Amino acid sequence: MKEENSSEPLLYDEEDTSYATWKESQMFSSSSRIRKSFVLWVINFFTSLCSAIFLLFLLAFFCPQFLVYCLQNMPGSEAEYAYKHFPLRDDIRWVKLPGDPEYWSNMLYMGEASPESDMAWNELIRRHGFRALDSEAQRLNLTSSLPLEKGGMSASLGVDHNLHCLRHFKQWYFKDYYYANKTEEDLAWIEGHTLHCLETLRKSVMCFPDLNLSPYYMDPGEPHHPTHISTWGVKQCVDYDMLNRGLDGRRYPRSEYPEEVKELLDAANRG
């Protein structure tokens, strides 16, 4: 009795089907099975790949915003990468602002010196200092900073420093108003500080370039400055109010500084 090639014989028939020929036939049939399943796998793979590409095309065609949203929100996308080291990443939200011709004309900040303007600027930089947790201080090399009484390390946040410097420029610009009673020596020191602020701002502006685009317009009525930049371009900005609310949890009072620091600060304020 002859066995089917593919089925295992119960007993090897020495005369008819040697073990070797059986084994050979087995090998043949199993390698053809492997070939067959490989071909099937390749067909399946390419069918799935084509379906995925086709779906992506459909999505890109009918709902490109969704694709853009997915790409922008992928972990490690540029929007987040910008603030990779900042501890409160969940408080960073980018918002898209429409063009606005009033974008650069808030008289409260750019106008003449006045108590109202002072209050507005003070409100912007009322609180400064950021409490870095010990692990963050290690990671960001802040461990040489001033320790805080209730834990963590004090750190200065770049945007706070920049705003402080901008206000300083405004005060230097209106120095008759702000520094009327200063001595020559005070004024020399303030001028030096103002120039330090200029360099701080230059570095910051280049470290973190503002990549928003604005259109130009021509103004033939102004021979000294015939082309201007308008503020009609769409802008992408960090939601500053949201960031500020997040920062509230990391601000600290001056009273948390070490005693000798507080004494020096008090003495400087009295001067």
Ligand X SMILES: *[C@@H]1O[C@H](CO)[C@@H](O)[C@H](O)[C@H]1NC(C)=O
Give the interface with ligand X as residue ranges (CB under 6 A).
Answer: 141, 144, 178, 180-181
**Tokens coding 100:** 């606005």
Residue 216: enclosing H or E segment and its boundaries? strand 216-218
Cβ proximity to ligand X, 105 vs 143, nearer residue: 143
Residue closest to ligand X when measured from CB atoms:
144
Shortest spacing between CB 181 and ligand X, in angstroms: 4
Burial 198-219 (b: 16+ CB within 10 A, else e): eebbeeeeeeeeeeeebeeeee
Shortest spacing between CB 132 and ligand X, in angstroms: 13
Shortest spacing between CB 91 and ligand X, in angstroms: 25
CA neighbours closer than 13 Å in the CB half-sphere of residue 214: 15
Shortest spacing between CB 120 and ligand X, in angstroms: 18
Whole-number CA gyration radius for the chain: 35
Q: Backbone phi, then psi, for 209, in 5-degree steps?
A: -65, 135
Shortest spacing between CB 135 and ligand X, in angstroms: 16
Residue 175: enclosing H or E segment and its boundaries? helix 175-178
Cβ proximity to ligand X, 144 vs 227, nearer residue: 144
Cβ proximity to ligand X, 142 vs 159, nearer residue: 142
Please give the full DSSP string across 119-159, using - where no structure is assigned: HHHHHHTSS--EEE-HHHHHHTT-TTS-B-TTSSEEE--HH
Cβ proximity to ligand X, 145 vs 231, nearer residue: 145
Cβ proximity to ligand X, 89 vs 182, nearer residue: 182
